[in-house]
Amino acid sequence: MQAAEMNAIRAAEGLLALSQQEELVDLPNCPLSASEDEGDSDGERKHQKLLESIGSLNGKNRWKLAERSEASLKVSEFNVSSEGSGEKLVLSDLLEPVKSSSSLAAVKKQLSRVKSKKAVELPLNKEEVERIHREIAFNKTSQTLSKWDPIVLKNRQAEQLVFPLEKKQSDFVPIEHVFSSWKPRTPLEQEVFNLLHKNKQPVTDPLLTPMEKASLKAMSLEEAKMRRAELQRARALQSYYEARARREKKIKSKKYHKIVKKGKAKKALKEFEQLRKVNPIAAMEELEKIEKARMMERMSLKHQNSGKWAKSKAIMAKYDLEARQAMQEQLAKNKELTQKLQVVSENEEDKGAEEEELLVPDVVNEVQMCADGPNPWMLRNCNSDAKGEIQEEPEQPPKPMVQEFSESEDDERTGTEEEILLQEFEERRSLRKRSELNQDAEPVGSQETKDSSSQEVLTELKALTQKLNKKKHQSRKQKMSSAGTVLQIQREECAPEEEEPLLLQRPERAQTLEDLEDLGHEEFSQNKEFPRPVLKGEQTERNPNNQIDAPKGKKKEEMIDLQNLLTTKSPSVKSLAIPTAIEELEDEEEKHQKQIIKEAFAGDDVIKDFLKEKKEAVEASKPKDVDLTLPGWGEWGGIGLKPSAKKRRRFLIKAPKGPPRKDKNLPNVIINEKRNIHAAAHQVRVLPYPFTHHKQFERTIQIPIGSTWNTQRAFQKLTTPRVVTKPGHIIKPIKAEDVGYSSSSKLDLSVTQSNPKRPTGHRKKQLKKNTVD
Amino acid sequence: MKVKMLSRNPDNYVRETKLDLQRVPRNYDPTLHPFEVPREYVRALNATKLERVFAKPFLASLDGHRDGVNCLAKHPKSLATVLSGACDGEASVRIWNLTKQKCIRTIQAHEGFVRGICTRFCGTSFFTVGDDKTVKQWKMDGPGYGEEEEPLNTILGKTVYTGIDHHWKDPAFATCGQQVDIWDEQRTSPICSMTWGFDSINSVKFNPIETFLLGSCASDRNIVLYDMRQATPLKKVILDMRTNTICWNPMEAFIFTAANEDFNLYTFDMRALDTPVMVHMDHVSAVLDVDYCPTGKEFVSASFDRSIRIFPADKSRSREVYHTKRMQHVICVRWTADSRYILCGSDEMNIRLWKANASEKLGVLASRERAAQDYNQKLKEKFQHHPQIKRIANHRHLPKSIYSQIQEQRVMREARRRKELNRRKHSKPGSVPFVSERKKHVLAVVK
């Protein structure tokens, strides 16, 4: 391309020269137009000449044409006359007659281009070229070098550098080879190995053992998930029950265990009842078992209050309530166990049984049991118990319950009110019918949560409940008019059984019951009763519409109101002051400020504190007496013995009076004279360079690095040297391959050899091109 | 009566295998180990004192040359082998075994000075240049019995070569003299020669990391960098005074240090030559040679003031100065490839071997010994700013000449400073600008 361009330039240059020539040629023509008068012959000759000159346009001997055949009017030094040269021939004019040829059009175009082009610049001098060359090379090199920046930075900041840098190339061995070559040696390894091999754990690609594969095939995902969830649940349940059993087993309370036992017995009874209905034969067998147990009980002396323990308790019984109770319990147990079971006939039961049967024989029946006895205390307790149970029902709000509770005490004597109460029970019963499922769990729970104070009565009750069904039927036989009467009669029936254990200790018993009641009251009142009246009182004082809800909120509101009142007052005062005088206001504000400050710092007396501090400082700086007395030296020693005054006086070294304090006459200054010159010699005076705050520096000093204060691992970590070199190893310069770069220089020499000389003209051109690029 | 038995859990004291360490119960309760700072301070003080007590850096002197040792070269593969060239005409190159501390070979290499010596990267041969305008390649192993000691190749040049260095990877080497020539080992004419200006070049050094880079220093006070691949010089920096030699950092590709006649060393980043990264000043006479520790953290410099100094690469003051009574102007110095020892060749015909860490214990260390050493090192580092420790750690005995020179130069520097201060005080504000110490010494950077 360059060559073509050059050719073009050459052609253009040729043309330029030609055009100049033509101009020269033209010049003699100029007088032609001016001197028309010379005649035709002259004109003809001139025409001939012009033709010749045109004809010689493409000829070689152009200069010859300049020869002059005749002297012109005006001879210039260019042997052409310039006379009458008004108009000049333009190049294009000359070309016009041959315009039709296309080759000349191209020439013309080139001609115009050449005319527009300026002269070629001089080539740069050698130094300049070299400079450019160097600069480019330098930039290139800098770029290649800057890839080292991160590595250099990393190495400079590294906590530890280990030389030589190049690591041993770990040759990659397929994992199977490693495994095959390795043999288990220790028992643990062998065990693990066996386990792995048993499962045929694949080492490489498939990742699944054959068993796993099979299981995957066997079970769909959902199925597996479900099963897994099931198993999980079972496991969770199991663990929960286990934990519960463990917990229960740990409980030391005898009472609790008794309750649990009784609960179990009750449950067994219930089950038995059901069994009787469903499967009479099995029930009979069960019955026999119970009978047998009864026989055993009758035979043995167990629960007869005849054992060693029972005798000791009997001695204590007079004074100890608990002992008495324990004895009674034992007797009750005996009684219960020896009680003959009465098989209930089917026909007896079926009358009212259907509805009653469904009922759980808990509270109401208990009440009925208790009601049999003549003991009014017992009755009351039963009621209260019942109440307690009612209280625990979730639907019942606590408040009316308390009211009921208070009511129930009065109800006992009046039969009519009792009836109302029973009606309530009836209602509840019907409620319970609806939610039968819950009932199984409820009684146990309620019993467990009973107060410990009322425990005694409760246990007794429970003992009675076991003979539930039988009693019920009996009572039903006797009187079946109304619920109220049933209650009364059952009370009567219950009485003889209850009487025996309670008999002896009656007065005290009554007392205890009262106590119990009081306790129960107290608890209730503590929980609910007491706070409420107080609140109520407040509420009634403030707002008449006795709202129970959110009393606290109300209270808060009122406080805010009070504040509002206070704040609203102050602006009113100000508004009065503003129009009269602003200064006054300011004064007032200042005073106010002062007052506030005074109030804020009312507690601390700064001056007094300072004086105290100074006094302490003075005391502390005073040299102390040294007591060198050795207690027990030359006399008796020991705890409580002091060395004699004489001895103390003898061995007391009185400190010399120190120099007067510098702040002795300066009342508001404390000058610390503690600076230790000896210590100062070892202290750093100025903050060392990399630290920006003295605290940083102090912290570095205060952290010990020795193994006395640090664990071995920490010690090693803290004392790792900055640079580690292996003795006897040659440390080679860092390589690009060491740090993960591919080496940039393939072979420096080969590059050099390819361009051994200084840049030639050809290279320069290339270089220029590069720079342009 | 209930008897409480002492019981121990065997897990706490029984080893799993015989090879395990015995468990030693320790209580790290800080109340049981009070005064940690004062105790560590005392330990640091003792460690510093012991360091000074055990600071015996001089190991051996290798004598045999008949004239001043002009150049030294390390063997690239063997730590025990060192080559040296001397200024005398006969027996001018010697090869030494450091473990035996003996000369194992003597070569009559050149007539007159041996100006430069360098080993091939593989360690099989070495090159020497001398005043007799020749470059000679020698086998590292001596000649067999009955063979004559002859160079492998001899190149006759037109001018005197003043230095030589071998490429780190390729079979090429560079010589300097009138110009920097790069030679292929197989050819008798240089594959390229680079010039910039017309002055004699003292030394040339290949960059060990980016191996196509070269640095040279010339008598007209400049340092020139070349790119061998592009066969062109890159940049030139002109300093106050002549640079005797340069050394590239073997771990940081773009860093080199120049040993200057003006008693200082200048560490440059070759990408920014207008300001040296650090000016290292402690010598009291011209610095003649410099060599980096293979770890790139320190370098050693040899000076005309009859001492060698060890500088941390990033500090301006030296951490160590070595001298002996008999050691004269130190002409060349090398740090051995395992970074433990320093070799220096001096005017009075000896090569001396020094420990790089003056108080280091030589030989194999037990692990506890090493742990104690590391701990002491850390303690010294931790308390290095405390005046007593600093005082002890920095104390060095110097020959009277150097000591008085230091005092003298301090006075001179102070006077210069005061003069500048006064000039600044009595001239128009801003007309005497503050020039940092680093910028002061760079006259110009020529592109």
Report the complex ipTM: 0.92
Over residues A541-558, the mean pLDDT reads 44
- At A420, is the pLDDT very low, low, confident or very high (cuts 50, 70, 90)? low
Residues 287-306 of B with CB under 8 A from A: 294-297
User: Which range has the worst mean pLDDT, A332-346, A415-429, A632-646, B229-243?
Assistant: A415-429
- Which range in A193-197, A339-343, A399-403, A649-653 is most confidently predicted, on average pLDDT? A649-653
Which residues of chain A are within 8 Å of residue B167 when distances are taken between CB atoms? Answer: 748-749
pLDDT of residue A766: 45
pLDDT of residue A760: 42
pLDDT at A456 over 50: no
The reply to whether B69 and B202 lie within a common domain is yes
The reply to whether B47 and B69 lie within a common domain is no
Which residues of chain A are within 8 Å of residue B393 when distances are taken between CB atoms? Answer: none
The reply to whether B235 and B377 lie within a common domain is no
pLDDT at A365 over 50: no
- At B339, is the pLDDT very low, low, confident or very high (cuts 50, 70, 90)? very high
Which residues of chain A are within 8 Å of residue B447 when distances are taken between CB atoms? Answer: 131, 134-135, 138
pLDDT at A561 over 60: no
pLDDT at B122 over 90: yes
Instruction: State the amino acid at position B351 in one-letter form.
Output: I
pLDDT of residue A198: 77
Top-confidence residue, A755 or B203: B203
- At A206, is the pLDDT very low, low, confident or very high (cuts 50, 70, 90)? low
The reply to whether B205 and B350 lie within a common domain is yes
Supply the mean pLDDT for chain B.
Answer: 92
Residues 361-400 of B with CB under 8 A from A: 364, 371, 374-375, 377-379, 382-383, 385-388
pLDDT at A368 over 60: no
The pLDDT > 90 percentage for chain A reads: 12
pLDDT of residue A345: 46
Which residues of chain B are within 8 Å of residue A685 when distances are taken between CB atoms? Answer: 387
Over residues A292-313, the mean pLDDT reads 81
pLDDT of residue B429: 92
- Which range in A53-67, A649-663, B175-189 is most confidently predicted, on average pLDDT? B175-189
Q: Which of A141, A702, A730 faces B227 most closely, judged by CB atoms?
A: A141
User: Which range has the worst mean pLDDT, A418-432, A580-594, B216-230, B393-407?
Assistant: A418-432
Q: Does A736 touch chain B (CB under 8 A)?
A: yes
CB contact under 8 A, A142 and B172: no
Binning chain A into helix, strand and coil, the percentages to the nearest 5 are 65, 0, 30
User: Which range has the worst mean pLDDT, A199-213, A546-560, A741-755, B269-283?
Assistant: A546-560
Which residues of chain B are within 8 Å of residue A770 when distances are taken between CB atoms? Answer: none
Q: Does A434 touch chain B (CB under 8 A)?
A: no
CB contact under 8 A, A144 and B251: no
The reply to whether B309 and B330 lie within a common domain is yes
B199 token code pair: 């002055």
pLDDT at B325 over 80: yes
pLDDT of residue B163: 94
Over residues A437-458, the mean pLDDT reads 44
Q: Does B33 touch chain A (CB under 8 A)?
A: yes
- Chosen for mutation from A160, A746, A749 (greatest number of chain B CBs closer than 10 Å) is A749
CB contact under 8 A, A756 and B167: no
The reply to whether B365 and B309 lie within a common domain is no
Residue A382 contacts residue A370 (beta carbons within 8 Å): yes
The residues facing B322 across adjacent strands are B308
pLDDT at A479 over 80: no
Over residues A457-474, the mean pLDDT reads 49
Residue carrying structure tokens 């409760």:
A458
The reply to whether B212 and B165 lie within a common domain is yes
The reply to whether B234 and B370 lie within a common domain is no
The last residue of one of the domains, among B355, B378, B399, is B355
- At A742, is the pLDDT very low, low, confident or very high (cuts 50, 70, 90)? low
Which residues of chain B are within 8 Å of residue A727 when distances are taken between CB atoms? Answer: 338, 340, 364
Which residues of chain B are within 8 Å of residue A742 when distances are taken between CB atoms? Answer: none
Over residues A130-146, the mean pLDDT reads 91
In a domain, B171, yes or no: yes
- Which range in A568-582, A669-683, B366-380 is most confidently predicted, on average pLDDT? B366-380
Give the whole-angstrom CA distance, residue A349 versus residue A280: 15
In a domain, B427, yes or no: no
pLDDT at A39 over 70: no
B391 token code pair: 């005082």
CA distance B427 to chain A (A): 34
pLDDT of residue A357: 43
A347 token code pair: 């026909």
pLDDT of residue B271: 92
Residue B182 contacts residue B172 (beta carbons within 8 Å): yes
Which residues of chain B are within 8 Å of residue A749 when distances are taken between CB atoms? Answer: 167, 170-172, 184, 191
Give the whole-angstrom CA distance, residue B251 versus residue A743: 15
User: Which range has the worst mean pLDDT, A177-186, A199-208, A308-317, A462-471?
Assistant: A462-471
Instruction: State the amino acid at position B15 in one-letter form.
Output: R
Over residues A711-715, the mean pLDDT reads 91
pLDDT of residue A511: 47
pLDDT of residue A224: 82
The pLDDT > 70 percentage for chain A reads: 49
Give the whole-angstrom CA distance, residue A56 versus residue A94: 13
CB contact under 8 A, A727 and B213: no
Q: Which of A134, A148, A745 faces B447 most closely, judged by CB atoms?
A: A134
pLDDT at A105 over 70: yes
Residue of chain B whose alpha carbon sits nearest to that of A757: B192
Which residues of chain B are within 8 Å of residue A141 when distances are taken between CB atoms? Answer: 210, 213, 227, 234
- At A170, is the pLDDT very low, low, confident or very high (cuts 50, 70, 90)? low
pLDDT of residue B85: 94
Q: Does A747 touch chain B (CB under 8 A)?
A: yes
- CA angle at A163 for the pair A159 and A165, rounded to the nearest 5°: 100
In a domain, B270, yes or no: yes
The reply to whether B255 and B376 lie within a common domain is no
Q: Which of A702, A718, A757 faces B378 most closely, judged by CB atoms?
A: A718
pLDDT of residue A60: 53
- Which range in A504-513, A641-650, B40-49 is most confidently predicted, on average pLDDT? B40-49
- CA angle at B253 for the pair B252 and B259, rounded to the nearest 5°: 80
A316 token code pair: 């204590």
In a domain, B141, yes or no: yes
pLDDT of residue B197: 81
CA distance A363 to chain B (A): 50
Residues 640-699 of A with CB under 8 A from B: 681-685, 688, 697
The reply to whether B231 and B367 lie within a common domain is no
CB contact under 8 A, A749 and B337: no
In a domain, B256, yes or no: yes
For chain A, report the end-to-end CA distance as a whole number of angstroms: 18
pLDDT of residue A371: 41
pLDDT of residue A112: 85
pLDDT at A515 over 60: no
- Chosen for mutation from B385, B390, B447 (greatest number of chain A CBs closer than 10 Å) is B385
CA distance B232 to chain A (A): 6
Q: Does B188 touch chain A (CB under 8 A)?
A: no
- Chosen for mutation from B196, B295, B316, B365 (greatest number of chain A CBs closer than 10 Å) is B295
Residue A317 contacts residue A331 (beta carbons within 8 Å): no
Nearest Cα neighbor of A459 from A508, A516, A402, A511 is: A516
User: Please, how many CA atoms are within 13 Å of residue A754, restricted to the half-sphere of its CB?
Assistant: 8
pLDDT of residue A96: 61
Give the whole-angstrom CA distance, residue B271 versus residue B235: 9
Largest CA distance in chain B: 110
Calculated CA dihedral for residues A639, A645, A646, A648, nearest 10 degrees: 70
pLDDT of residue B343: 96
pLDDT of residue A99: 52
Nearest Cα neighbor of A371 from A428, A404, A411 is: A411
pLDDT of residue A383: 45
- At A363, is the pLDDT very low, low, confident or very high (cuts 50, 70, 90)? very low
pLDDT of residue A740: 74
The reply to whether B376 and B235 lie within a common domain is no
Domain housing B327: 64-355
The residues facing B300 across adjacent strands are B291, B310
Q: Which of A135, A138, A681 faces B388 most closely, judged by CB atoms?
A: A681
Q: Which of A146, A155, A752 faces B229 most closely, judged by CB atoms?
A: A752
The reply to whether B340 and B370 lie within a common domain is no
pLDDT of residue A280: 82
Q: Does A158 touch chain B (CB under 8 A)?
A: no
pLDDT at A231 over 90: yes
Q: Does B169 touch chain A (CB under 8 A)?
A: yes
Residue of chain A whose alpha carbon sits nearest to that of B80: A728
User: Please, how many CA atoms are within 13 Å of residue B391, restricted to the half-sphere of its CB?
Assistant: 8
Over residues A226-235, the mean pLDDT reads 93
Q: Which of B170, B254, B447 faces A131 most closely, judged by CB atoms?
A: B447
In a domain, B372, yes or no: yes
CB contact under 8 A, A748 and B191: no
Report the length, in residues, of chain B: 447
The domain tally of chain B equals 2
Q: What is the CA radius of gyration of chain A?
A: 62
pLDDT at A268 over 50: yes
Residue of chain B whose alpha carbon sits nearest to that of A723: B295
User: Which range has the worst mean pLDDT, A84-93, A302-311, B122-131, B251-260?
Assistant: A84-93
pLDDT digits (tens, 9 = 90+) for B136-157: 999 998 888 888 888 999 999 9
pLDDT at A234 over 50: yes
Nearest Cα neighbor of A454 from A374, A529, A391, A528 is: A391
Contacting residues for A315 by C-beta, under 8 A, at least 6 apart: none
Residue of chain A whose alpha carbon sits nearest to that of B30: A709
CB contact under 8 A, A731 and B294: yes
- At A519, is the pLDDT very low, low, confident or very high (cuts 50, 70, 90)? very low
pLDDT of residue A588: 82
Do strands B58-63 and B350-355 pair parallel, antiparallel, or not at all (unpaired)?
Answer: antiparallel
pLDDT at A225 over 60: yes
pLDDT digits (tens, 9 = 90+) for A574-620: 444 344 445 567 678 888 888 888 888 777 788 888 989 988 988 88
In a domain, B19, yes or no: no
Q: What is the CATH number of the domain that holds B127?
A: 2.130.10.10
Give the whole-angstrom CA distance, residue A36 versus residue B292: 99
User: Which range has the worst mean pLDDT, A281-285, A298-302, A311-315, A409-413?
Assistant: A409-413
Cα separations (Å) of B40 from A680, A701, A704, B34, B63?
A: 17, 9, 7, 11, 45
Over residues A501-510, the mean pLDDT reads 44
Supply the mean pLDDT for chain A.
Answer: 67
In a domain, B241, yes or no: yes
Over residues A280-294, the mean pLDDT reads 85
